[in-house]
Structure 1
């Protein structure tokens, strides 16, 4: 299976936080880790969570800072803030539920639906025929755009595959994702060739931390450059913005520390008039994208369906907000059955 420098993905570990108040309200949040890191997130969350006991759950910004400082020696990015993210998301879910509003409405929605595209049907190991079958099924289900992977060891293979998909899909919005597989010379050559296909964006053509390289590509290509999903703090995204390294910013709320941090980053992105296309976790990102002033995209993955009772409504190329309060999700019995580790943190009387 072609996965570049990353090993094949056999599991995704989820960290769930359920927060209850003395007056009976409850909030739920989650974070995740692909391939490795889940146990580290759980351990850190269990260690700092007692700092919340007795606090006012409405003071989310202050509580985020308190949790960060409770684990200050391990820094403000990576597993530490990803652990806090699950708690932060739960606090925002709780706040919106107490207000009786969907989270997007609590934040101040600019729209009731968001453009959406699918990623889960276009991996490198799949033949073009399978990709086209997957794309047809997703478009028929109401999804608006299709993203496929590139980064084959032989770049010519990428160009043939993209050409066949573009020809078959016509003017359907099409994106490609290289998952950091190219060096700078290869990225220049392949991205220039990809310009002819009228793509919405070319994603992660270079190492996620190569701000200067991404900026040079963005300045020379007709096609938008997208990146940001692998970064784990607002500070790292700020460097992308400062360099002009992305036309499309792809933050992941669970990776950068939760909704509190995502909102900080969204304010920076808005000032630069950047398109926002949050990575993964559509159950969270639909709300955050709906509250972003400039028309964004949301990434569709059906991987999380077994975890939640509800389904997001998708039609006419867009993902639609429901009227359910908070995030609008509840855990399934299956999700609880799959749980391998728990920590119950309560006030000691």
Structure 2
């Protein structure tokens, strides 16, 4: 047994390097809670999660006031037991983003600690299904970007070996979305994937209408076409179109995913390790998706998701959106449009400790020590 002796929590605010807009919001800030856990052997692991501009202070208060004190003195090897204890301790605030993001920061730190102590990279420890995964890019496809720029970005991504580009949809009229997507399809040809993302911006009738108009474009998927809690609406939409329907970034429970998969309401699973509450539940969702013959293409967090996509046999794509460049000494390795997970023990994230400390917000920096 290696008791948890010391926990440090911080939050860094990372403004996006490009303007990010979608059908319902702008991505204005990337609040990044960071948790470092040290055990009685002196080994440590670091985990993190994120917001897109709101809720970071609430995540940090949940960590400092309720979750971190509960894990002090616990056996760091018992990751499942700790996760379940914290889930039950926050029963009154689950299921939802704030609690999930706090749980994820702790759980990813524990997995990093476990992997480091065993001398294994996360992608091997969690399954080791493959040593690389194809990439698609999102950063050049935001809703405000004009068709010419969308085309230029997609062509550049194709030249770099990427397998696809994601284009945001949700312009006021279907004709506008269709024109943007058609311009990209004409430019890249049939062999390059076009993913789309509505960010929950449609009602069912409009989603069905647009999916029908997009059918000729052979899209890789339509992501989050409807509000995430509308399972029945997704069932209706999925039955109306041959285009795959992708969900997951706004689902916070393994049971939510179970309902979608069991009812045929999705065909691409985009489980997000931060929003599902950590690596522990992420793997459960991924393995459940395998049982339904569904691919997993997680949302965001490429520096962490590269290892998880490579851990499971049904991991399909990694979404290319750099997040941690300002906090790391080296980025995710990319070879011919493929994401390659790190061979270093742990999550595979090379934290720049000096940069993390320098950019941490003092109001949310705290340390805890077991009695």
TM-based fold match above 0.5: yes
Aligned residue in 2 for 1:303: 323
> Which of the numbers 354, 358, 363 marks the counterpart of 1:337?
358
- Hey, what does 2:52 align to over in structure 1? 34
Work out the CA distance in 2 between the residues paired with 1:345 and 1:181: 42
- 3-state secondary structure, aligned to 1:27: strand
| Residue 330 of structure 1: how far off its partner (Å) | 3.0
1:177 is displaced (CA, Å) by 0.9
Partner of 2:243: 223
Contact 1:68 1:76 in 2 (8 A): no
Q: C-alpha displacement at 1:73, in angstroms? A: 2.8
CA contact (8 A) 1:143 1:314 kept: no
Shift in Å at residue 24 of structure 1?
Answer: 1.8
Q: Distance in 2 between matches of 1:199 and 1:34?
A: 27
The CA deviation string for residues 163-211 of structure 1, in whole angstroms up to 9 with x for no partner, is: 0001111121111111111111111111011111111111111111111
Instruction: Indicate the residue corresponding to 1:252 in structure 2.
Output: 272
Deviations 1:90-109 (CA, angstroms, capped at 9, x unpaired): 10011111111110101121
Deviation at 1:304, TM superposition (A): 2.5
1:64 aligns to what? 83
- For the pair 1:166 / 2:189, whether they are aligned, the reply is no
CA distance in 2: counterparts of 1:183 and 1:76, whole angstroms: 24
Residues 75 and 182 of structure 1: is their aligned pair in 2 closer, same or farther, counting only changes over 3 Å? Answer: closer
Secondary structure of 2:329 counterpart = coil
Distance 1:185 1:72 in 2: 35
Distance in 2, matches of 1:88 and 1:235, equals 19
The whole-number CA distance in structure 2 between the counterparts of 1:75 and 1:176 is 29
- TM-score normalised per structure 2: 0.89
Residue in 2 aligned with 1:182?
Answer: 202
- 2:24–2:199 CA contact under 8 A, matched in 1: no
Deviates more, 1:331-340 or 1:47-56: 331-340
Using the TM superposition, give the Cα deviation of residue 270 of structure 1 relative to its aligned residue in structure 2, in angstroms.
1.2
**Does the 8 A contact of 1:145 with 1:317 survive in 2?**
no
How far off its partner does 1:218 sit?
A: 1.5
Q: Go from structure 1 to structure 2 and tell me whether the alpha carbon gap of 1:306 and 1:140 turns closer, same or farther (over 3 Å shift).
A: farther
Could you list the per-position Cα deviations for residues 113-137 of structure 1 after superposition, in whole angstroms to 9, with x for gaps in the alignment? 1121111110110111112222233
Aligned 8 A contact 2:185 2:217 in 1 = yes
1:79 equivalent to 2:98? Answer yes
Q: Within 2, Cα distance between the matches of 1:347 and 1:115?
A: 43
Offset of 1:76 from its aligned partner? 4.1
The Cα of 1:266 is off from its aligned counterpart by 1.4
Change (3 A) 1:31 1:2: closer
Deviations 1:243-291 (A, max 9, x none): 2111001111111110011111112111111111100011211111112
1:301 CA displacement = 0.4
Cα separation, 2, equivalents of 1:155 and 1:256: 32
1:276 aligns to what SS in structure 2?
A: coil
The answer to whether the 8 A contact 1:175-1:199 is kept is yes
Q: Provide, for residues 11-33 of structure 1, a one-character-per-residue CA deviation record: whole Å limited to 9, x for no partner.
A: 11111011111212111110111
Deviations 1:61-114 (A, max 9, x none): 001112223333323433112201100001001111111111010112111011
SS at match of 1:124: coil
| Corresponding residue SS for 1:176 | strand
Root mean square deviation, CA, Å: 1.6
List gaps (5 residues or longer) in structure 2.
1-19
Deviation, structure 1 residue 213: 1.4
Task: Provide the rounded CA distance (Å) in 1 between the counterparts of 2:359 and 2:27.
Answer: 18
TM-score (norm 1): 0.95
Tell me, yes or no, if the aligned pair for 1:143 and 1:315 is still in contact at 8 Å: no
**How far, CA to CA, are the matches of 1:270 and 1:46 in structure 2?**
36
